[in-house]
Amino acid sequence: MFGFLKSKNPVPASPPTPANEDRGSWFTRLKSGLAKTRDKLGAQISGLFGTGRQLDSSFYEELETVLISADVGIKATENLIEALKIQAKRERFTEASQLYQGLHDALVTLLQPIEKPLNTDGAKPFVIMMAGVNGAGKTTSIGKLAHYFQAQGKTVLLAAGDTFRAAAREQLIAWGERNHIAVISQNGGDAAAVVYDAVQAAMARGIDIVLADTAGRLTTQLHLMEEIKKVKRVIHKALPGAPHETLIVLDANNGQNALAQVKAFDEALNVTGLIITKLDGTAKGGVLAALAHLRANAPDKAPIPLRFIGVGESLEDLRPFKAEEFVSALLGRPS
């Protein structure tokens, strides 16, 4: 049987943290969350760009090694270094310290195409389908997204579409209780049926946003990839035009493996956005640059937006991605 959790009162008794919370507070958490990547990437870059270091071939070779070791990726690294060489020649720089601002700006320029905050005003209910490999933090991200959208004054409903993992339903129900919102669930059964029922319930109740969980799956599990395609088709059947957003959740610890995950899910689902989780637990935060460069050689396809990044365990530690904030937290604000 399908079930609701607190379906009569989807609005929390006490309002969550406002979405436009103090930016200084978020930047502090972001900087703290990127500590491991900054210790690996930022510290080495600071040393490279030290006073007196000449801009020669050995400098660029060392910078290339540092960037690739932080999972920036070969193509994105080549793009950054070429941009720095062009600037150095144009400005007639001779010392590395003169180019530090240039690196900061080049990284921001590389990342800005994937800085596109998610706008959920185009439909009601606005249906967001969540997917990803096992252990990426998908269900936890749903709970945090519910909190984030509630802070914007939106009503939210959760769909427990992960019917494979034993504890997934209970975990999502716990998030529903924490956020005081409704959860549509079923003891076992078909994931597509659960999500279909959730969309129908949201339409009947005037809910703003549906967050649909799905089971984690490896991209090599072809039968499960076919199953998630079915879930998407059923969502569209329940509400033509939905899902309005198909988000893939990626664990930052996977580094360059995240690229293969995006490609596989994109082929199956036509991904419209990304969430990067667990940036606080890895030194591979440079993978964001690689993701930004993923479609650089496909002019007919726009870059896949990075909608949110996660840098901690608290409800407030999942926030929209902003390129300037990210680079400044990673490298420090140039003087």
Q: Give how far Cα 292 sits from Cα of 60, 79, 287, 306, Å.
A: 22, 11, 9, 8
β-pairing, 2-3 vs 245-251, is unpaired
**Structural domain containing residue 280:** 1-14+23-335
Determine the length of the chain. 335
Q: Given the structure tokens 């994109």, which residue do they identify?
A: 266
Tokens for 279, please give them: 């940036």
Q: In a structure prediction context, what are the per-residue pLDDT tens digits for the chain, which is 335 residues long?
A: 345 544 333 333 333 444 444 556 888 999 999 888 888 787 788 888 887 889 999 999 999 999 998 889 999 999 999 999 999 999 999 999 999 999 999 999 999 999 999 999 999 999 999 999 988 999 999 999 999 999 999 999 999 998 877 688 899 999 999 999 999 998 767 899 999 999 999 999 999 999 999 988 877 777 888 889 999 999 999 999 999 999 999 999 998 899 999 999 999 999 999 999 999 988 888 999 999 988 766 677 789 999 999 998 888 899 999 999 999 988 875 54
**CB distance 165 to 136 below 8 Å:** no
109 token code pair: 């320029």
Q: What is the CATH number of the domain that holds 233?
A: 3.40.50.300
Structurally, the chain folds into a number of domains equal to: 1
Separation between Cα atoms, residue 206 and residue 209, nearest integer Å: 9
